[in-house]
Structure 1
Amino acid sequence: MHRTENGSKFYMPSLYDILKLTKTETIYAKSNPGSPRKETLPCSDGPSPPPGGGDAPPVPKCACRVTDETKSASNRGKTGAGVTGSRTGRICERRKEPALPAGATNPGLLRHIHNAARYRLPQCFEGACVSLKQSAQNNWVLGHSMSFSSVTPGGYKVLLSYVDKSKPIGLPYFVMEAAPGGQMSCEIRVGPSQGTRATVVAQMADGQLYSFESILDAYFNNFTMSIIGVNREFIALHYLQAVTDQISLGAEVVARGQASELSSLSAAARWSGDKHSVSATLGNRGLDVCYARDIKPYLTVSSMLEVGFTIRRAVATLAYEWHTPAWTVRGSVDSDGLVGATLQRALGGNNAQLACAVSALLNHPNDKFRLGFGVTGSIV
């Protein structure tokens, strides 16, 4: 089954998603086998909350954040179940995992254990957006984005990124997004060694540091480890072991300094095959179960169940993905009455540098409907 990496920690525009990295022959972890599907996500407005997932503390109010009423069908984590970092608002990036020795059975990162199912969720958005990426030969990319929306902050944004295309892993890596209003997001990733990745993500708003997180990932032949620190609020330790080629087991420990009673311990497991994946996380805060299966070469369905023990709430979600080399359709419906769908299509053929995206989101309980349209172009 195709599974795509979901490690993006914060909102980035579609210019960031169409950033092309050089193709190399390498061994990828199970959570990122290098899916050949091409797609372009719509623009986003403002940075997203830190990737604390269900275990993250409440995020302070900020004008650059998307309001709760406009959240997408893909914004899960309502119950507090799952592991830290697994609840990103958008899946906007395909990270390259380090090359491993031949015969290695690496399970990928624990925070990406549910990617096979969650990647099928539509990335809904509202309003209109036009984006343009200009790529230079010196590894720098300059992007421009103009968004229009009646419910979320819009306007002009600029994106500056750097990636070393001459290296198979594309490191060092740097990306910065800035808006005239003073909002700015910055991510820096380096590889201290062949099997390690160090990432720092910072977000600024209203002239002050809004969010800061640091992540260290270590890849070994048959297991991975991660250390995640967010806003001096908590630190999370991840471990995921490949027991066999199909079975992986892991655990997470979240320690808090100021609110020790909110510290948590979770266990995780995944059983994956060529056409299916079953993953689950269970801890003192909740239960999260995900299932994904390839029905046809072009059709994948998934289901997700989240149960929060502390808030006594459960949410079930069904999703599907219908894809071809030229377009991708995703749809989902959950037990909260949220129905969403997106259509992403390349214009002018498979190798075109122009793409469009259409989004629709219906909230039955609130009787609200959101429609979005985005166009992304690339100048190489």
Structure 2
Amino acid sequence: MSSIPFGQKAEDQPVLDQTLLSQNPGTFEDLHKKTKEIFPIIFEGFKFSLNKMISTHFQINHSITMSSVTPSGYKFGATYVGLQQQSPSEVYPIILGDVDQNGNLNANIIHSFHPNLRTRLVGQIADGILQGYQMTSDYKGRDYTASITAANTDIISNSGIVIGHYLQRVSKRLDLGCELLVQYGKNVPNNRMALYSIGWRYFGNDWQFSGVVNPLGSMHLCYYHQSKSPIQFGVELESNLRTMDSTSTFCYQVDLAKANMTFKGMVDSNWQTGAVLEKRLLPLPFTFVLSGFLNHVKSSYKFGIGFTIG
């Protein structure tokens, strides 16, 4: 198959992510991914991280957090990447996790048993007890992706959550999909409840518009724009028609390649603003991060400083 889809000329190729240039639309969960990626990850306090490559397949991480808002302390993390390479950006299996000074563990295992099938297993242990787990399998066809997720399934108590996703590329620039969530158990009304949602993504050469709606009246819309300039921006709208509550957020990202600097900012309809500045101190493997957040209504603010080695 040609690397230039839909019969386009090389100079007419969209500048969006390469996943949109292929026939496969990706997963339903990633409909809003491009907009979410430019949101600043705001933190408070001090963060220090040290990354060490042990080999080409194994990396360890040490991190220290000091904050009055989020849990503070030390975490040790490790990542293993296997030898099964399916594409320049896909190598399996992937095993990663972290553990803190109290023994709380988060672990992820991602593996592809077939070129079209990818499975993810996520688990969390806190205070020596398995707090939650889920397994997701994605099957990627030529122009569609079907996914199923099972979360906190308990055979003994007959409880858990099952989520099904399907996303289809119906035209050169349009993806349509749906989600079905089923929750069952003794604590669920009538022992079982189900909810479905409908989603779409329509994209052009340098933009995309995505949305998810469900019959309960909730709506999640995102718009993303990327140009050849260093600026990217996005708009997000989350609305619940039953409660008549809506929140809109404008975010942007500026990449200053000559200064080795990235700036992300956001402002929402609740008069909250936030920004993150990331400066790479080349040629040293150091990254310096500044984070700020201000709530104009409550007159509260958060400020953070981060430093990463490796």
Judge same fold: TM > 0.5, yes or no.
Answer: yes
- Residue among 235, 241, 245 paired with 2:162: 235
What's 1:363 paired with? 295
**Which of the numbers 348, 356, 359 marks the counterpart of 2:282?**
348
For residues 201-251 of structure 1, give each alpha carbon's deviation from its aligned partner in whole angstroms, at most 9, with x where no partner exists.
001112211221111111111010111122233111100001122111111
**TM (normalized to structure 1)?**
0.70
Paired residue for 1:289, among 200, 221, 227?
Answer: 221
User: What residue identity is the alignment partner of 1:337?
Assistant: W
2:205 partner amino acid: D
1:338 aligned residue (272, 279, 283):
272
Q: Which amino acid aligns with 1:312?
A: M
Give the whole-Å Cα distance in 2 for the aligned partners of 1:366 and 1:314: 19
| Residue of structure 1 equivalent to 2:147 | 226
Q: Percent identity?
A: 26
Matches of 1:138 and 1:319 in 2, distance apart?
A: 35
Q: CA deviation at 1:262?
A: 5.0
One-letter amino acid of the structure 1 residue matched with residue 230 of structure 2: Y
Larger deviation, residues 288-297 vs 244-253: 288-297
Question: SS of the counterpart of 2:134?
Answer: strand
Q: CA deviation at 1:184?
A: 1.0
Unpaired segments of 5 or more residues in structure 2?
1-13, 154-159
What count of residue pairs does the alignment treat as equivalent?
Answer: 281
Q: Structure 1: any 5+ residue segments left out of the alignment?
A: 5-27, 34-103
Shift of 1:310: 4.4
Match of 1:46 in 2: none
Measured in 2, the distance between the counterparts of 1:162 and 1:295 equals 35
**1:3-152 matched pairs, under 5 angstroms:** 29-30=19-20, 105-137=23-55, 139-152=57-70
Q: TM-score, normalised by structure 2?
A: 0.85
Which SS does the other structure have where 2:289 is aligned? strand
Q: Please name the residue that 2:198 is paired with.
A: 267
SS at match of 2:113: coil
1:250 to 177, 181, 184: 177
Q: Matched residue of 1:117: which SS?
A: helix
CA contact (8 A) 1:2 1:116 kept: no
* 8 Å CA contact retained: 2:98, 2:107: yes
Equivalences for 1:162-201 in 2 at 5 Å? 162-164=80-82, 167=85, 168=87, 169-201=90-122
Is contact 1:291-1:302 (8 Å) kept?
A: yes
Structure ranking higher in strand proportion: 2
User: Which structure: larger Rg?
Assistant: 2
- Cα displacement (A) at 1:266: 0.8
For 1:19-75, what per-residue CA distance to the aligned partner results, in whole angstroms no more than 9, with x for missing partners?
A: xxxxxxxxx532xx7xxxxxxxxxxxxxxxxxxxxxxxxxxxxxxxxxxxxxxxxxx
C-alpha root-mean-square deviation of aligned residues, in Å? 1.9
How big is each residue's C-alpha offset from its partner over 1:297-329, in whole Å with a ceiling of 9 and x where there is no partner? 211121111112444321111111111332211
User: In structure 2, do the counterparts of structure 1 residues 312 and 287 end up closer, same or farther at CA, with 3 Å as the change threshold?
Assistant: same
* Corresponding position of 2:247: 315
Q: Give the AA of the match of 2:226.
A: D
